[in-house]
Amino acid sequence: MIPLFIQKAAACSPLGANLDEIWSRILSGETSWGTTRLSGNRNYFTAETIADSTSDIRTYATLFYDAIRNLVTDLDISEPVDAIYFGTAVGNLAYLENKIYSGSNVKAEEVDFSHLREIFEQTMAFGPDTRFVCVPTGCCAGLQAIGLAKSTMRKLGLRTAIIMSLDFGLTPLALEAFNKINATSMYDPATNGSPSRPFCKGRKGFLFADGGGAILVSAEEPSGSTVQVSGYGCVSSAFHMTDIKTDGHSIRQSIECALAEAQIDGSMIDHINLHASGTEQNDAAEYNALIDIIGHDLPVITAFKGNHGHALGGANLIEVALVWKIMMERRIPPTPHHLPVDAFKEVHPRSEITDFTGRRVLKTASGFSGIHASVIMEQCG
């Protein structure tokens, strides 16, 4: 087992501009959702990190780059890191769309996600020897970036790294594309609560959001109490371009790989934070995987997309940052106010903050084309 130690975490989401704001609202059970209105009276439920920013693509085009800089700043780094592992699903799509709509030429290098290195070069985190790796693998990108860092840092002699995942994908192209596969929710003014409803009988699909998070990690164990990533597993089943197999077999395999690397079994998991996108397929698949591995007596489960939607690859590190908060503050947030969480009897709602008395957390993520990733996070020190 070769762990990575999390020193600091940062995030931005529709619930706040920084991790402390998001955490405070998560502890209050709050939700965030709104509307993006496109031409032709095509209006979608969305959750925006910057309110009303999607109404003007020219404004929205800059937010992805701004968020990279802000997340690095929030990590409060005093010297350059040895590496940056960056995960994303759609990258700088808004910037590229804006150039196309305005009639500007798009250079080939601007479409290459490795080009994003230039944004990091403008921050305190980047030095002459800093290595940059982009992991553009969709909604598992953040956890895959963690797995890549975990497997390579010591081999390459890297001591410190930033792992970040981020997406600002609420663009006309992305919304229409996700609508084609029935992944988005059309706006309904009669709705009196967030459409993001994981593990609820009334769930219909995910709430498309933006945002992301970052962690500062070290290959060397720091003094004092901290959280380590002790296990990682990833499976690419190639089941279907957009659908997910509901028996949960591939998700179970990714969890089993992570458990094996952490040298523990399912009975030793004290808390679970799920991908929980809010689709019927994903909920059923994750539920079946957990029942297969742990049994019907499941530990407490959190699902933060019920609070602020699904920021694609960016969701991974928002959720990892929030799990880090759970473990460092020893508190598990309540279920978002409007969610009954009634789809499976083993997955229960919580009306108030509860104590986290355990040591180990399982975090999962799933993406298109049958990619599933899991990490084990453990309290140490």
pLDDT tens digits along 98-156? 999 999 999 999 999 889 999 999 999 999 999 999 999 999 999 999 999 999 999 99
Selection from 120, 153, 114 nearest residue 135 by Cα: 114
pLDDT of 291 above 80 = yes
Yes or no: say if 375 and 69 are a contact pair by the CB < 8 Å rule. no
Over residues 218-272, the pLDDT tens digits come to 999 888 889 999 999 999 877 666 667 778 899 999 999 999 999 999 999 999 9
Domains of the chain with bracketed CATH: 4-218 (3.40.47.10), 226-380 (3.40.47.10)
Distance CA 155, CA 160 (A): 13
Beta-ladder partners of 277: none
Confidence of residue 1 (pLDDT cuts 50, 70, 90): low
pLDDT of 377 above 70 = yes
pLDDT score at 144: 97
Beta-ladder partners of 376: 231, 362
pLDDT score at 240: 61
Q: Give the length of the chain.
A: 381
Yes or no: say if 119 and 72 are a contact pair by the CB < 8 Å rule. no
Q: Give the rounded percent of residues in the chain with a pLDDT score beyond 90.
A: 77
